[in-house]
Chains A and B, each alone.
Chain A
Amino acid sequence: MSRFSSLFKQLLLTGGGALALLGCTDDKVDGPIYNFSADGSNVFVLNEGKYGTPNGAVSYFSKTKKQLVDKSVFQTVNQRELGDVVQSMAVLNGQGYIVANNSQKVEVVNMQTFQTVATIKGLEQPRYMVAVGGKAYVSEWINFDKKGRVAVIDLATNTVKKTIAVGMQPEQLLVANGRVYVGNTGDDTLRVINPATDAVEAKIKLKDAPGSLVLDKVGAIWVLCQGITKYDTKAPYAILSDTPGNLVKFAPATPTAQTVLPFAGHPRGLRLNAAADQLYYRHAGGVYRMATTATSLPATPLIRRSFYGMDIDPKDNTIYGSVAPFSTTGKFIRYQETGAAIDSFDVNIGPNGFVFY
């Protein structure tokens, strides 16, 4: 009882209630609320929010204070909702690009203050973004049953200048060797876009559902193919087909000469440490680590816990794993490089990723 009313008052007083904004508070604040410097001490946690409601959020965690300072930094600064399904965020030249998947937009913020710079509109189910030169490339699903595309964004005007057709459900992108590689999780291909022409110049066949990809320190591309499970649409919903995941490695110059390491299940979320010589991924209720020089998959996990999102702090290789129940606020847990847990913090609804700044 008193918990409710005191919380209610507290939220009203601080304006921290995510939805208190709906009750319209028009307070003007003098000067920026935050002044972030790119010293690697800031972690922005991406929270998808509830599907179908624009309550996605970016939570701000200060490594030096060891404190979750703000559960909704965008909302605190800009006094409005961020968007529906905050899928990913890219940082480039002092600006943050937050992809709000089901709001069909990318919110551009000043990374120092988190104040709005622009909103990039005209996207359909955008997922991830990378930048090359003055342009950015955003993968778009468009529709689950249709082929996706990549939008080319002019970063000077924050507008879509062109779209490029790619495969089914394009996910993460990677810039390597002067090209943009796009993984298509609805099929088994990477599309290679040449930023000089903004056209697909090659299609690389891999294994089913290449969803995440990284570039290691010797210039090899590693792609985590998740595999695809298809179910019968009638009871008892037998599995019609099930292709397991694979970790695939190739050199950009020789994309057909692939090293393939097969999984028994469906791995996700390939990441790299700062030195670009250790791979991390989530698989079968755990986090695994593998040296880029290894020739086989590791047998035992580094951390035995299932995460919704996971990333590695490039500064000290601290592992961040998120737990996302969606019905309630999620949290993230930090682990040492050895896999020993350090601490955990409550964030917002559906945390799926981290941006280290």
Chain B
Amino acid sequence: MSTYQVARLRLPGSLSGSICLLSILSTSAGAWAQQAAAPDSARRMAAQLPAVRVQGVAPGRFAVGSRVTQLDSLALALSRSGTLADVLASRTPLYLKNYGPGQLASISLRGTSARHTAVLWNGFNINLPSLGEADFALLPASGNTQVVVQHGPAGGTYGTAAMGGAVLLSSPVRWEAGARGTAQSERGSFGFRANSLEGSFSNARIAVRTALSQRSARNDFAYTVREAGGPVRRRQENAALRQWSLAQDLTLRTGQSAEWTAAAWLTDADRQIQPSTGSANNHAQERDQSRRLLAGYRRTTARHESAVRVAWFEDILNYRSDDVESRSGVRTTQAQAEHTLNFGPTTSLRVGAEAQHFAGQVDIYTVRENRFTGFALLSFSPAPTLRLTANLRQAVLPSRRAPLAPTLGAEWQLRQAATQQLTLKASASRSYRAPTLNERYWRTGNPNIAPESGFGYEAGLRHEWKPAAFALQTELTAYRQRIDDWVQWIPNSQGQYSPRNLRLVRTQGLELSTQLGWHHGRYAAQTRASYAFTQATKLRGHAADPDPAGRQLPYVPQHAAAFSTDHTWRQWLLSYQLSYTGPRFTDASATSFLPGYLLLNASAGRTVRVAAHYSLTLLAQGFNLTNRVYHSYEYRAMPLRSANVSLRVAWH
């Protein structure tokens, strides 16, 4: 029986410099990306602020020197009915191990596993406390208007699990944007249906945003298996899903310096669990529900900024199959308080603390656990061309001591001309991962398991070239990281799987990205290409660790690349996304592997103004256009060529 349980267990910056959507695109792409707070809107936002208002210190100010990828608003707008798993997989070289369309999608940042990526919503970690990881298929793209991926360890800045990196979700406010709304309906292959409603309003004092989305699919796509009599074409069974998301943000300004925020994000997914091709359909079904509520207050003056935030999350995960039933519900109550001191324009110091209380029932165990964290973040610019940060974080965990996590970062503008800029970036960070609730409290768990501890560093060069007609931005990063006390579940003396701090893992690699923005008259184009080379190997392990050292870890592609290009002309849009995922080993001995694959998606659409304030957008999207048979996870079938058509009404 233990096999079932084990199966389930496995069955958890400097933004302005890395902005993907350039402002020149904002005019024509604006029709496509309206609603979504475009990265460029961060700049516009500054311009729209009432002159007298004092602006707070952007969080990215304390995270310089590391690589940051920001999904642009157009990418999010084109994927309104999709999930973050879909957007990240098609537009970035990040690897998401995906068990089927809409099924579990776990991220691997810089060769680490999913539990080494911190997913933060408005500054709060939303990884499932029981499993310690996020399923990106459960995060609809409509929930947030800004998605930033911080590559590499940043334990001092973002806390636990920010080892491979962090994914930061938020919806920055656009003040004085007035009222606008959209309604969209979409139909597609394999019974795909999606609908969404979005509305927002803001003036100088209040900003409100509501985004509701719903989608469902039968996912009864065809695939071929080899049986005794030859190849047999089958329809995928047990892969249907229903999902909805409701996001609500409210920000209110009182007086000249105070700001109140309240946000809610509810997600609900009811999924059948797609069996592998060749295994019995055990009619597994999973219900994931997350309710996230947040309230905050911020007071900003010329020298001081104080902020207090409280949040309450409830994460339900109920699994049922012919053999097993498991019900889990964990409630996380948490608070963050921070105070920032600005010593003139060059230096800022932020100190803060965070408390978390976990309570719930996970399958067979009941849990109550408290965690505390204290941090200090320092940002210092000794010269206009040099920015330095030094961050420090100490977590207090109930079991074992967490390592002190300092982060150092630097960005130095080597050359700055009217149209060109060359920046050298570097950072070093100690990171840690607090044990997950399962690791500590599962029946065969290990209450004394130590937090994982990592140390990583990186260096990069960024070149920006912006003559009048186009903008070219290129960045190259090299990194290396070691994670010690890496946790692995292995059989104990009674043959039961139990987590232990087993090994030292090193990941290293290169990340290269370049993007070109070009416009001519009413035509604008944005093209991005990125490549990631990733080596992840176990350097050494405990005697009880059966996996061999010195081989590429399973499900870490050595090569991954993405190419996307978006064109807008008058009211037309044409977009392509090409992504390559290299071969991945499927076991730790590095003998069996899945072949690499190239996927091509494309979108074409047109917007028509139908009345003074109304426009209508028709968009067609095609996926896997080359009809490629591929597997993200072994033996989980993926759809061949498929398409969606959507119609959107926008009011503004």
A interface residue numbers (CB < 8 A to B): 1, 3-4, 7-8, 11, 17-24, 50-55, 71, 78-81, 83-85, 102-104, 107, 116, 118-119, 125, 143-144, 231, 233-235, 237, 285, 306, 323, 325, 327-329, 346, 349
A103 touches B364 (CB 8 A): no
A325 touches B490 (CB 8 A): yes
CA of A325 to CA of B535, assembled, Å: 23
Per-position 1/0 for B541-576, Cβ under 8 A of A = 000001110011000001000000000000000000
Let me know if B595 is at the binding interface, CB within 8 A: yes
A235 touches B366 (CB 8 A): yes
Known A4-B552, A51-B3, A103-B278; contact A327-B588, beta-carbon cutoff 8 A: yes
Binds A, one of B187-195, B370-378, B475-483, B629-637: B629-637
Q: Which residue of A lies closest to B11 (CB)?
A: A52
Let me know if B23 is at the binding interface, CB within 8 A: no
Chain A residues lying within 8 Å of B366, measured Cβ to Cβ, are: 234-235
The listed residue with most A CB atoms (<10 A of its CB), out of B278, B279, B493, B593, is B279
B587 touches A81 (CB 8 A): no
Q: Which residue of A lies closest to B583 (CB)?
A: A8
CA of A233 to CA of B276, assembled, Å: 30
CA of A103 to CA of B281, assembled, Å: 9
Known A3-B551, A234-B366; contact A53-B634, beta-carbon cutoff 8 A: yes
Chain A residues lying within 8 Å of B587, measured Cβ to Cβ, are: 50, 327-329, 349
Known A55-B634, A233-B364; contact A24-B629, beta-carbon cutoff 8 A: yes
Let me know if B488 is at the binding interface, CB within 8 A: yes
Interface of B is mostly: loop
CA of A81 to CA of B594, assembled, Å: 14
B276 touches A22 (CB 8 A): no
How close is A189's CB to chain B, nearest CB, in angstroms? Answer: 19
B592 touches A19 (CB 8 A): yes
Let me know if B47 is at the binding interface, CB within 8 A: no
Per-position 1/0 for B199-219, Cβ under 8 A of A = 000000000000000000000
Chain B residues lying within 8 Å of A323, measured Cβ to Cβ, are: 546
A54 touches B635 (CB 8 A): yes
How close is A91's CB to chain B, nearest CB, in angstroms? Answer: 19
A8 touches B3 (CB 8 A): no
The listed residue with most B CB atoms (<10 A of its CB), out of A118, A233, A328, A349, is A328
A328 touches B280 (CB 8 A): no
How close is A220's CB to chain B, nearest CB, in angstroms? Answer: 30
Known A8-B583, A102-B280; contact A235-B595, beta-carbon cutoff 8 A: no
Chain B residues lying within 8 Å of A7, measured Cβ to Cβ, are: 590-591
Chain B residues lying within 8 Å of A55, measured Cβ to Cβ, are: 586, 592, 634-635
A19 touches B589 (CB 8 A): no
**CB < 8 Å: which of A8, A24, A329 contacts B593?**
A8
Q: Which residue of A lies closest to B633 (CB)?
A: A53
Let me know if B1 is at the binding interface, CB within 8 A: yes
Cβ-Cβ contact count across A and B, 8 Å cutoff: 128
Chain B residues lying within 8 Å of A144, measured Cβ to Cβ, are: 1, 4, 323-324
Chain A residues lying within 8 Å of B611, measured Cβ to Cβ, are: none
Q: Which residue of A lies closest to B276 (CB)?
A: A53
**CB < 8 Å: which of B3, B493, B595 contacts A22?**
B595
Chain B residues lying within 8 Å of A107, measured Cβ to Cβ, are: 228
A84 touches B441 (CB 8 A): no
B276 touches A17 (CB 8 A): no
B interface residue numbers (CB < 8 A to A): 1, 3-4, 6-7, 225-228, 275-280, 322-324, 364-366, 441, 443, 488, 490-491, 493, 535, 546-548, 551-552, 558, 583, 586-595, 629, 631, 634-635
CA of A6 to CA of B260, assembled, Å: 59
A84 touches B547 (CB 8 A): no
A119 touches B228 (CB 8 A): yes
B591 touches A329 (CB 8 A): yes
Q: Which residue of B lies closest to A145 (CB)?
A: B323
B443 touches A237 (CB 8 A): yes
How close is B401's CB to chain A, nearest CB, in angstroms? Answer: 24
Other A-B pairs beyond A19-B595, A328-B588, A329-B589, 7, CB < 8 Å: A19-B586, A20-B595, A22-B594, A71-B591, A78-B228, A79-B226, A85-B3
Q: Which residue of A lies closest to B444 (CB)?
A: A237
Chain B residues lying within 8 Å of A143, measured Cβ to Cβ, are: 322-323
The listed residue with most B CB atoms (<10 A of its CB), out of A3, A19, A116, A235, is A19
Known A80-B226, A285-B493; contact A327-B547, beta-carbon cutoff 8 A: yes
Q: Can you list 16 A-B pairs with a CB-CB distance of less than 8 A?
A: A19-B593, A24-B629, A52-B275, A53-B278, A107-B228, A119-B228, A125-B280, A144-B324, A234-B365, A235-B441, A306-B493, A325-B491, A327-B588, A328-B548, A328-B588, A349-B587
CA of A187 to CA of B168, assembled, Å: 53
CA of A78 to CA of B586, assembled, Å: 21
How close is B506's CB to chain A, nearest CB, in angstroms? Answer: 13
**CB < 8 Å: which of A80, A85, A116, A328 contacts B547?**
A328
CA of A7 to CA of B228, assembled, Å: 29
A80 touches B635 (CB 8 A): no
CA of A327 to CA of B590, assembled, Å: 11
Q: Which residue of A lies closest to B554 (CB)?
A: A327
A53 touches B6 (CB 8 A): no
Chain B residues lying within 8 Å of A8, measured Cβ to Cβ, are: 583, 593
The listed residue with most A CB atoms (<10 A of its CB), out of B441, B491, B592, is B592
A84 touches B629 (CB 8 A): no
The 5 closest A-B pairs by CB, nearest first: A54-B278, A325-B546, A80-B226, A328-B588, A23-B595
The listed residue with most B CB atoms (<10 A of its CB), out of A24, A235, A327, is A327
Q: Which residue of A lies closest to B367 (CB)?
A: A235
B7 touches A52 (CB 8 A): yes
Chain A residues lying within 8 Å of B546, measured Cβ to Cβ, are: 323, 325, 327-328
Known A55-B635, A119-B228, A328-B547; contact A84-B279, beta-carbon cutoff 8 A: yes
CA of A235 to CA of B488, assembled, Å: 22
Q: Which residue of A lies closest to B447 (CB)?
A: A236
Q: Which residue of A lies closest to B488 (CB)?
A: A327
Chain A residues lying within 8 Å of B552, measured Cβ to Cβ, are: 4
Q: Which residue of B lies closest to A237 (CB)?
A: B443
Chain B residues lying within 8 Å of A327, measured Cβ to Cβ, are: 488, 490, 546-547, 587-588
CA of A17 to CA of B443, assembled, Å: 37
Known A143-B323, A234-B366; contact A1-B276, beta-carbon cutoff 8 A: no
How close is A352's CB to chain B, nearest CB, in angstroms? Answer: 11
How close is A46's CB to chain B, nearest CB, in angstroms? Answer: 15
**CB < 8 Å: which of A4, A51, A349 contacts B6?**
A51
B276 touches A54 (CB 8 A): yes
How close is B491's CB to chain A, nearest CB, in angstroms? Answer: 8
